[in-house]
Amino acid sequence: MTTGKGLLLLGLMALAGPARSDYSQHPQAAALYAALKSEHGFSASDIDAVRAALVEANTIPSLIEAEQKAPERTETWTMYSAKRVDALRIKRGAQFIHDNRALLDRAETEYGVPGPVIAGVLGLETNFGRITGGARVLDALATQGFDHPTRTRFFFEELEQYFVFCRDFGFAPTQLKGSYAGAMGWAQFMPSNYRRLAVDFDGDGKRDLWSAADAIGSIAHYFTAYKPDLAWHRGEPLIVPAKLRAALAGSVEPNQKRASYTVAQLRAAGVEPGARLPANLAVGLIELQLDSGTLPAQQDKEYWIGLPNFYSVMSYNPRIYYAMTVSRLASAMAAEAARLDPDLQ
């Protein structure tokens, strides 16, 4: 006999786990078919293949929960960075830089993005290709694109792009696996960015983000081509430390997604950069929340000034903690790589 608690448990399992959902009959499916036909030239047989794939798609509510509770949203900086700027990842990153020096050097020459920054992205996204995602991309994008409570438009557009990607790159829609959001490969590109920004960096005739070489070149290309106003500034750092001379003026809002102030404006608001910067340089103020109780109350926040390249990294993932971790990883891995190979100093 099933108890009340047992019924509740079974109900929760049904909500959290995958369930077949014939998305081919979803009210929005017709709009998907129409867009694929009118905007991407899908034939009737192509549409039939899309419809068949949507019949096979699973609804996985836990993927929506994972997107809504991403650690960049829920953890303090102390918690977040301790799990990611760690000794093992730094060691692996240094070895990755050492092993892929020629590719990383060429990426910097062609695009201006330093190898350690590229390695920082790869280390944070997939631990250098070790964890590229276990969800079927079809399931992730169908679940998020049809059922997400607040971001269906974004994911619905990526579902459309995914079907175009599969047609153009020769994949079956049911074949590929990626993140809970439908990101793919070492570099975790969404389908639209894969189609637009991935490059064949090893010259084998394929744009394969499950290869280290193409992931390296594609990340560098992303930072220069994703949005012109956020393009990488060759030869410039990402961050400099900052101190507050007094309580932060109410006119300054930290942790914005773009460089919203000049250095002069931050100085006038009581923020002192830890390095000499041009007064008219567009920057932002970064405020990092440390764990409550780990330091005296007046030291529970840490401040940095984000330079244009910091916000270029944020175009990859629009979270302060993400870009800060890439910055910290890049610095730590570069130092460790220099110990492995003195020529990298």
User: What single DSSP character describes residue 18?
Assistant: -
One-letter identity of residue 223: F
One-letter identity of residue 30: A
Contact status, residue 288 vs residue 77, Cβ threshold 8 Å: yes
The CA-atom distances, in angstroms, between 174 and each of 21, 25, 140, 162, 271 are 14, 18, 11, 11, 52
One-letter identity of residue 208: D
| Residue of 125, 158, 160, 336 marked catalytic | 125
125 labelled catalytic: yes
Pairing, β 135-136 against β 177-178: antiparallel
User: What single DSSP character describes residue 254?
Assistant: -
Pairing, β 301-306 against β 261-262: unpaired
Q: How many CB atoms are closer than 10 A to CB 334? A: 21
Contact status, residue 235 vs residue 308, Cβ threshold 8 Å: no
Query: Where do we find the tokens 């393009």?
Result: 231
Q: In this structure, is the dihedral angle defined by the CA atoms of residues 180, 186, 190 and 195, taken in order, positive or negative?
A: negative
One-letter identity of residue 135: A
Query: Where do we find the tokens 């390249």?
Result: 309
- Active-site amino acid positions: 125
